[in-house]
Amino acid sequence: MKMIKDKELLVGADFAGFPLKEAVVEHLKKKGWEITDIGVKSADEDDPEMFHRIGLKAGAKISEKEFERALLFCGTGMGIHVAASKCPGVFAGVVESVPAALRAITGNNVNVLAMGAFYVAPQMGIDIADAYLSHYLGDGYEWWPNFYEFHKLACDELDAFDYEEFKKNGFEVKRLGDYPLELMTKPDEIQG
């Protein structure tokens, strides 16, 4: 599997997300990232791949464990993210800010992060990518008791989810465990 720790990343975009993808990829390559780009390859392709097809291709590469993570781009980030989410084991999120990107990875362990070029400026896309790619589940929340365990359990239950089993079980989630978690405010001495 191509891993984040080794600076290996999958990217993809439709024609609307292409300019944002290019800005982010240029930045990441300057920082030493090895990028596998599944398209589109130019702004003027004769028959560019539609957003959902790029999303499905990227989702499949995550499902098949070829890549640990992917960055995807379309007009809104929504369509490409919905498509990638159809593949097993994909935890996709759409973000438009650095705080949302940080929470997507640190609290939800997303392995596919989508952005919309209609709403995310190139520099913001770069900042989002840097934040997302430099963090893992639970990072920065060590001060919050059970934060990692609580969110890891949620991810594990989602990964194990089977709709037919859920339906047979009266629409009750099959629990893999429990961890108590209270909402907390970051202590002043570790703000920053």
CA separation for the pair 105, 91 (Å, rounded):
10
Please give the model's pTM, rounded to 2 decimal places. 0.93
**Model confidence over 85-108: pLDDT tens digits?**
999 999 999 999 999 999 999 999
Domains and CATH numbers, the chain: 4-133 (3.40.1400.10), 147-190 (no CATH)
Rounded distance between C-alpha atoms, residue 184 and residue 50, angstroms: 43
pLDDT tens digit string along 110-169? 999 999 999 999 999 999 999 999 999 999 999 999 999 999 999 999 999 999 999 999
Contact call for residues 4 and 32 (beta carbons, < 8 A): no
8 A C-beta contact, residue 27 and residue 126: yes
Residue 168, Ramachandran bin (φ over 0: left; ψ between -120 and 50: alpha; else beta): alpha
**Residue in this structure with the two tokens 């781009």, named with its chain if needed:** 73
pLDDT of residue 191: 66
Active site residue ranges: 74
